[in-house]
Structure 1
Amino acid sequence: MLLIYTQKITPRIIYIFKHICTNMLGISIRFTSKIEEFIAHDGMKLSYGKQALGNELFIQNTGLLMEQGLSEVEIKVQPWGDSFCFFPATEKSDLPFDIFAASFYLLSRYEEYLPHVKDEYGRFPASESLAEQEGFLQKPVVDVWAYKFREVLQQRYPDLNEKKRSYSVQSIIAVEHAFSYRNKGFVRSFVGMLVDLVKLQFGKVLDRIQVLLRLKKDPFNIFEDLILLIKQYDLKLMFLFQLSDFTVHDRNINPNRMPLRSVIKYVADYTKVGLLLGYYSLRNIKTLRKEKLRLEEIVHSPLRAVLNSKYNLSLPEHYNNLTELEIPEDYSMGYPETQGFRAGTCTPFLFYDINTEVTTPLEIHPYVLNSNVLEEEPIGKMKSEVAKMLQEVKAVEGNFNAVFKNQDFSDYSDKELYYSFLKQIHEIK
């Protein structure tokens, strides 16, 4: 057990110390603000303040975790070995920076609460992030820091027991449109065919006719192919289906149609399924509840996982809605326009709401890669960057989550490209 002294035990301190010490490193901790108790303790101990109390491990507190609410934070990033750090400390500190304040800044998404320039979709873009501006977006720095902190702790206390983490990979299949042509209704099918004719896309016109006449499989219905990969290679895939009402933003088929429900039930027999959030469910908790109940009624089990891969991730409102509806897991923490670690980590973490200074029960599972970016760069360069990030995650025994769309693996896409990245991530030869 590690005894931690701090002059004031704040919700931020409890949150970040529990995450780094207990959740990531497996070290049980206890807090005290009584100097006499701390000095009398014979076991492992760490002081977190302005100056050390004795010969214990000492991390200098730079102040962020003692505050409430938001303030303009001055950040100067500097190199630290083969990594980066900020919130520098004096030489008296056993680490050259306040690892706990820096980790809290990234995990809480402090910068997303501050004024920033949004992109055309109203999202917080990677270009506005400290990690992108300072060149460490492709590194899970919080995990790297935690492992270096463990090394320092182990040098001081050699009897420290290590927690064994395990590296894992998961691909998330976002299903906005389970079908390209089937089950769209006469009007939508007729208008769609006219649009294809105007665009001289005669191949799609022929495909539509064959699919509607049941002479050909719908091109977006690739679920059997991916389930076959699960069976052959024991892949960890999770499918998240959109079940929104039809609107100008959400153009999926009616969620009550039996073919869609049959696909969801079929997939749920082999792997985890969840909810791909629609445009209005991000803004209206009643709409979110309706979509949640739809999925639960189909699979006959509570909804566990959701993804918002396309629209604005509005913090903290969106996560608070998930918490209120008791949805335990979110997979939206990533950038749809670039690869990297949005929260600086490849480890699941609980969401901390800065507005209320409360640790919520919602577990955030960051994703590293969105298939949107795979055609943006030359394939050789992207393969190299994905390989580097895989190694970064392996080095800290973290979780590599990637987001694909079902249509990525259809004949209307460069499916060989996407299959090659899927196989690279899961190390299929």
Structure 2
Amino acid sequence: MLLIYTQKVTPRIVYVFKHICTHILGIPIKFTSKIEEFIAHDGAKLSYGRQSLGNEFFIQKVDLLMEQGFSELEIKVQPWEDTICFFQLPEASDLPFDIFAASFYLLSRYEEYLPHVKDAEGRFPAAESLAYQESFLHKPVVDIWAIKFRDILLSRFPNLEYKERRFKTGTIIASENTFIFRNKGFLRSFIGLMSDFFHLNLGKVIDRLKIWMRLTKDPHDVFDDLIKLIKQHKVYMLFMFQLSDFSIHDRNISHNRIPHRAVIKSVADYAKVGLLLGFYATEEIQTLRKEKLRMEEIIHSPVENVMNFKYNLRLPDQYNNLTELEINNDHSMGYPDVPGFRSGTCTPYLFYDINMEVTTPLKVHPYAFSSNAIGKMSKNKLEEDLHRMLAEVKDVKGMFRAVFENQDFSRYSDKDYNYKLLKQIHEIE
């Protein structure tokens, strides 16, 4: 057990110390504000304050974890061994920077509360982030810092107990449109057929006719192939299905269509399924509740996993809506067009609401790669980035998550290349 002394135990301190020490490193911790208790402790101990108290491991604090709310911060990124750091400290500290304040800054998404330039879709773009601007977006720095901190701590207290973890991979399959042609209704299908004729997409015209006559499967219905992959190679996949009302933003078929529901039920027999939020569900809790109930009625169990596939995260409002509806796991934390670690970590973590200064029960599962990035960079560069990020996550024994769409594996996409990337991630030969 690691005894931690700080003059004042704030919610931010409890949050970030628990994440780094307990969730990443598996080190049991206890807090105290009593100097006598701390000095008398003869085991591993750490003080977090202005000055050292004796022979403990000492980290001099910066003010971030003692504050409330948010304000503009001046951050200077500097090298530290083979990585980077910020919130530098003087030599009196046993670490050259405040690992806990720096980790809190990234995990809480502090910078997304500050004024920033949104992209055309109203989203926080990667280019606005400190990690992108300082070229460490591809590194899970919070985990890297934690492992280095553990090793230094063990050199001081070799009997300190901790738990090793193991490297894992996982893929999310986002199904915004379960089918491309099937069950779209007469008017939508007729307009689509005329459009294909007009643009001389004769292959799609033939496919439409075959599907209408039930001679072949819909090209987007690739779920059997993915389930086969799960069975053969024991890979982890989480399938997200959209159940929104039809609108200009959400174009899936009705949630009442039997084939749509049948696909969801079939997939749920072999893998976890979750809810892919529609456009209005990301903004209105009433719509979110409606879509949640639809999914629960289909799978006959509570919705535990959701994803904002529009990527227009509005923090903390959207996460607070999930918490209010008792949805425990979100998979939206990443950049759709740029590979990397948006919150600086490859470890799931609880969301901290800076507005309310409270740790919420919502667990955030960050992803490092989305298939939306394909085509925005060369294939060689993309594969190199994937290889590098996978190596980084392996080194810290974290969880590498990727996001694909069901349509990525249809014959209308470069499915062979997309399968190649999927197999690279899961190390399938």
With the length of structure 1 as denominator, give the TM-score of the two structures. 0.99
- Cα deviations by residue, 1:373-416 (Å, 9 ceiling, x for unpaired): 12222222211111111010000000000000000000110001
Question: Are 1:192 and 2:192 an aligned pair?
Answer: yes
The correspondence of residues 12-411 of structure 1 with structure 2, limited to 5 A, is 12-411=12-411
CA drift at 1:207: 1.1
Task: Give the counterpart letter for 1:242 in structure 2.
Answer: Q
1:166 Cα deviation (Å)? 1.3
**Deviation per CA, 1:83-114, whole angstroms, max 9, x where unpaired?**
11000001000000000000000000000000
SS in 1 for 2:18: helix
Aligned residue identity for 1:383? E
Q: Which residue identity is paired with 2:381?
A: K
Bigger shift: residues 308-317 or 294-303: 308-317
Look up the equivalent residue of 1:326 and give its one-letter code. Answer: E
**One-letter code of the match for 1:373?**
A
Question: Which segments of 5 or more consecutive residues in structure 2 lack a partner in the other structure?
Answer: none
Q: Distance in 1 between matches of 2:26 and 2:411?
A: 46
Looking at structure 1, the residues matched to 419 and 410 of structure 2 have their Cα atoms a distance apart, in angstroms, of: 10
Q: CA RMSD in A?
A: 0.8
Distance in 2 of aligned mates of 1:426 and 1:28: 32
Q: Distance in 2 between matches of 1:16 and 1:154?
A: 20
User: Aligned partners of 2:258, 2:87: CA distance in 1, in Å?
Assistant: 55
Distance in 2 between the 1:377 and 1:420 partners? 16
Is the partner of 1:417 in helix, strand or coil? Answer: helix
Of stretches 33-42 and 66-75 in structure 1, the one that deviates more from structure 2 is: 33-42
Quote the Cα distance in structure 2 between the aligned partners of 1:310 and 1:417: 24
Please state how far the C-alpha of 1:235 moved relative to its aligned partner: 1.3
**What is the CA-CA distance between 1:311 and the residue it aligns to?**
3.4
Deviations along 1:134-166, one digit per CA (max 9) or x if unpaired, are: 000000000000001101110110101231101
Cα-to-partner distance string for 1:51-90 (whole Å, 9 max, x where unaligned): 1111110001011000000111110000001111000001
The SS at the match of 2:143 is helix
- Asked if structure 2 preserves the Cα contact closer than 8 Å seen for 1:193 and 1:205, the reply is yes
User: How far apart are the structure 1 equivalents of 2:287 and 2:389?
Assistant: 36
Report if aligned partners of 1:279, 1:311 keep a CA contact under 8 Å in 2: no
Q: Deviation per CA, 1:270-322, whole angstroms, max 9, x where unpaired? A: 01000111000000001001111111110111111111132311100000000
Instruction: Kindly provide the amino acid, as one letter, of the partner of residue 48 in structure 1.
Output: Y
3-state DSSP of counterpart to 2:59: strand
Q: CA deviation digits over 1:9-41, x for unaligned, max 9?
A: 100000000111111111111111111221111
Corresponding residue of 1:415: 415
CA contact (8 A) 2:240 2:275 kept: yes
Letter aligned with residue 226 of structure 1 = L
Distance 2:396 2:261 in 1: 39
Q: Do the aligned residues in 1 keep the contact of 2:311 with 2:336 (CA within 8 Å)? A: no
Partner secondary structure for residue 361 of structure 2: strand
Q: 1:34 is matched by which residue type in structure 2? A: K
Distance in 2 separating the partners of 1:300 and 1:81:
51
2:234, 2:5 → 1: CA distance?
46
Higher mean Cα deviation, 307-316 or 334-343? 307-316
User: Within 1, Cα distance between the matches of 2:402 and 2:124?
Assistant: 19
**Letter of the structure 1 residue corresponding to residue 301 of structure 2:** S
Residue 319 of structure 2 aligns to a residue in which SS?
A: helix
Task: Answer with 209-218 or 412-421: which moved more.
Answer: 209-218
Partner of 1:179: helix, strand, or coil?
A: coil
TM-score relative to the length of structure 2: 0.99
Paired with 2:240 and 2:166, the residues of 1 have a C-alpha distance of 24
Tell me which amino acid in the other structure corresponds to 2:154: Q
2:169–2:425 Cα contact (<8 Å) kept: yes
Contact 2:116 2:124 in 1 (8 A): yes
Residue pair 1:116, 1:124 contacting (<8 A) in 2 also: yes
Q: What amino acid maps onto 1:49 in structure 2?
A: G
Give the superposition deviation at 1:192.
Answer: 1.1
What is the distance in 1 between the residues matched to 2:247 and 2:32? 54
Q: Is the 8 A contact 2:121 2:312 kept in 1?
A: yes
Matching residue's letter, 2:138 = Q
Segments of structure 1 that go 5 or more residues without pairing to the other structure are: none
Secondary structure of 1:124's aligned partner: coil
Report sequence identity in percent: 66
Looking at structure 1, the residues matched to 310 and 249 of structure 2 have their Cα atoms a distance apart, in angstroms, of 11
